[in-house]
């Protein structure tokens, strides 16, 4: 696992966007796995800048997002589809039909999950997966538990995640209790993984991840230790317990 420590959030965002831009330049038809949450916003801003100022071309890029809240459609400002459209897709020359975010309003959730991994595989597999990390060590919506899903599935959100994500909603009651999420296996199939950790709220999770030599379902991010090409980009605040 490679660890890059950056002075602050802006530097972290620059570093992450440079890695993604390199992939896009080298493979203009790359398949990118993308993440939501507040952490990747700066990375997306940089990618938008590179598209506008340096002609970074997304016209053949395909994307698959990690997760979505069950019950929220793309018109809901708290949905991850809405987030991706507003924070990235609407500002670059990606074709909308090439962007995939799990559909929280799909009628048959189980069938959707079964097909999502298949669709990623048929597209050629993820060349790069971008990840954030939850304060409890979750990746995508794979929450600490006695078992973790291998493939895309319907997951129950923990109290901690509901509390922590409530900042985007009007109240805690409004936060959906379930989500569709790529599984640990779906994520580990990506050829390359970048995990971003910013701010003091991530100190514990980063420390546990970097100190551990064991995988544990109670620290979902620890499964990344099994992958041969993971880069963690942390800012000094997130890294300061080390
Ligand atoms: C959500 C997402 C995760 C994300 C996490 C951290 O729970 N499902 O993919 O990594 O939040 O979010 P933030 O970057 O806002 O701290």
Q: Give pLDDT tens digits for 95-131.
A: 999 999 999 999 999 999 999 999 999 999 999 999 9
Q: Tell me, what's the ipTM?
A: 0.96
Task: From 41, 66, 133, 149, give the residue whose CB has the most ligand 1 atoms within 8 Å, as the site to mutate.
Answer: 133
**pLDDT score recorded for residue 240:** 87
Predicted structure pTM score:
0.96
The average pLDDT across 137-154 equals 96
Atom 3 of ligand 1, nearest CA residue: 140
* Mean pLDDT, residues 214-242 taken together: 96
Ligand 1: does its nearest atom lie under 6 Å from the Cβ of 37? Answer: yes
Residue 19's pLDDT is 98
Confidence of residue 40 (pLDDT cuts 50, 70, 90): very high
The angle formed by the CA atoms of residues 35, 41 and 43, to the nearest 5 degrees, is 85
**Beta partners for residue 34, in sequence order:** 65
User: Which two three-digit tokens encode residue 185?
Assistant: 């296996």
Contacts of 152 (CB under 8 A, 6+ apart): 102, 113, 114, 116, 117, 180, 181, 182, 183, 186
Q: Of 2, 1, 67, 14, whose CA–CA distance to 45 is shortest?
A: 14
Residue 92 pLDDT class (50, 70, 90 cuts): very high
How confident is the model over 193-198, as a mean pLDDT?
Answer: 98
Average pLDDT, whole number, for the chain?
96
To test the pocket of ligand 1, the residue of 9, 16, 39 to mutate (highest count of ligand atoms within 8 Å of its CB) is 39
Q: Ligand 1 centroid to 38 CA: how many Å? A: 7
pLDDT value of position 241: 81
Atom in ligand 1 nearest the alpha carbon of residue 132: 10
47 and 20 Cβ atoms separated by less than 8 Å: yes
What order do you get walking across the sheet with 178-181 strand by strand?
67-69, 178-181, 153-156
Segment 211-216 long-range contacts (CB within 8 Å, at least 24 positions apart) = none
d(CA 242, CA 238): 9
Beta strands in 56-152 (DSSP E): 62-65, 67-69, 99-100, 128-131
Tell whether ligand 1 has an atom less than 6 A from the beta carbon of residue 35.
Answer: yes
Q: What mean pLDDT is predicted for residues 58-72?
A: 97
Compute, in angstroms, the gap from residue 125 CA to the centroid of ligand 1.
Answer: 23
pLDDT above 70 covers what percent of the chain? 100
In the predicted structure, residue 237 carries a pLDDT above the cut 80: yes
98 is catalytic: no
Give CA–CA dist 159/143, Å, rounded.
Answer: 10
Q: Beta strands 128-131 and 99-100: pairing type?
A: unpaired
**Which CATH number do you get for residue 131?**
3.40.50.1360
Range of the domain at 24: 2-239
Domain count, the chain: 1
Residue having the nearest C-alpha atom to atom 1 of ligand 1: 37
> Using a 6 Å cutoff on CB, does residue 48 contact ligand 1?
no
CB 6 within 8 A of CB 236: yes
Mean of pLDDT values over 62-84: 97
Q: Is the pLDDT of residue 242 over 80?
A: no
- Among the listed residues 68, 100, 127, 136, the single catalytic one is 136
Nearest CA to ligand 1 atom 11: 37
Instruction: State yes or no: is 75 an active-site residue.
Output: no
Three-state DSSP class for residue 147: coil
Annotation marks residue 136 as catalytic: yes
Give the model's pLDDT for residue 160. Answer: 86
For residue 140, the ligand 1 atom closest to its alpha carbon is: 9
* Residue 2 pLDDT exceeds 80: yes
Tell how far the Cα of 139 is from the centroid of ligand 1, in angstroms.
8
Distances (CA, A) of 67 to 9, 24, 187: 23, 22, 11
């Amino acid at each position: 696992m490679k660890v890059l420590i950056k002075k602050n959030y802006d530097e972290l965002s620059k570093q992450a966007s440079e890695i993604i831009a390199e992939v896009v330049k080298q493979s203009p038809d790359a398949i990118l796995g993308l993440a939501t949450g507040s952490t990747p916003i700066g990375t997306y801003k940089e990618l938008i800048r590179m598209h506008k100022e340096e002609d970074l071309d997304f016209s053949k890029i395909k994307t698959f997002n990690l997760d979505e809240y069950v019950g929220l459609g793309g018109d809901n400002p708290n949905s991850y589809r809405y987030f991706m459209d507003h924070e990235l897709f609407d500002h670059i020359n990606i074709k909308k039909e090439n962007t995939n975010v799990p559909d929280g309003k799909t009628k048959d959730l189980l069938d959707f999950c079964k097909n999502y991994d298949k669709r990623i595989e048929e597209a050629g597999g993820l060349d790069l997966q971008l990840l954030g990390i939850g304060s409890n060590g979750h990746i995508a919506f794979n929450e600490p538990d006695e078992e973790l899903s291998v493939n895309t599935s319907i997951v129950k959100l923990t109290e901690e995640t509901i509390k922590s994500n409530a900042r985007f909603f009007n109240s805690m009651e409004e936060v959906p209790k379930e989500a569709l999420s790529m599984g640990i296996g779906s994520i580990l199939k990506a050829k390359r993984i970048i995990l971003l950790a910013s701010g003091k709220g991530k100190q514990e999770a980063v420390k546990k991840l970097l100190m551990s030599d064991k995988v544990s379902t109670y620290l979902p991010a620890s499964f990344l230790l099994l992958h041969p090409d993971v880069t963690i980009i942390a800012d000094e605040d997130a890294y300061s317990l080390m």
